[in-house]
Amino acid sequence: HDGYFSDAESPAIADEIVRHKVDILLVAMGTPRQEMWIDRHIRPEHARLVFGVGALFDFMAGEFSRASKRARSLRVEWLHRFRLEPKRLWRRYFVGGPIFTMRILRHAVGERLWSRKRLTRGRPQSLPER
């Protein structure tokens, strides 16, 4: 499928995937849309492996150039992509990225606090002095 369809067509697309008995499904709608679509519409019976591949097909088709090997090794390919499409990607990188990072940190800190409370809950309290 070419990937251009409305939300109302999603159930029919998912049914089509099941009919074709797909082993590997590559979803290239862009982040976070592809991840949300996969979460809402794809189940184990749809495919054995499911990947959200973002701009993979754009790179393969030569629509966009990849970042240099140096940029990729430094893990700043996102900066190259931002330079190519600033109007489309600024919100993802400079608003969504920090929000996502804060949510992850909040979750990690919350988990640590919760597990620490759980560990200390069963300990006996110190006895009062005589």
- Number of folded domains that form the chain: 1
Q: Which residues pair with 51 in a beta bridge?
A: 26
pLDDT level of residue 127 (50, 70, 90 thresholds): low
Question: Can you give the three-state secondary structure of 93-106, one letter per residue?
Answer: HHHHHHHHHHHHHH
Tell whether 20 is covered by a domain: yes
Give the whole-angstrom CA distance, residue 96 versus residue 106: 15
93 contacts 82 by C-beta, under 8 angstroms: yes
- Select from 28, 27, 54, 31 the least CA-distant residue to 42: 27
Q: How confident is the model at residue 2 (pLDDT cuts 50, 70, 90)?
A: confident
Under DSSP, is residue 5 helix (H, G, I), strand (E, B) or coil? coil
**Which residue range(s) make up the domain with 54?**
1-64
Q: Could you tell me if residue 52 is inside a domain?
A: yes
User: Does residue 70 form part of some domain?
Assistant: no
- Could you tell me which of 58, 41, 59 has the C-alpha nearest to residue 50? 41
Separation CA 82–CA 90 (nearest Å): 7
The answer as to whether 88 is a domain residue is no
pTM confidence score: 0.64
In a domain, 38, yes or no: yes
Q: What's the pLDDT score for residue 126?
A: 58
Report pLDDT digits (tens) over 71-122: 999 999 999 999 999 999 999 899 988 998 999 998 888 877 766 666 555 5
pLDDT at 108: 86
Q: What is the pLDDT of residue 117?
A: 64
Q: Is residue 111 part of a domain?
A: no
pLDDT digits (tens, 9 = 90+) for 33-77: 899 999 999 998 889 999 999 889 989 999 989 999 999 999 999
Single-letter amino acid, residue 26: L
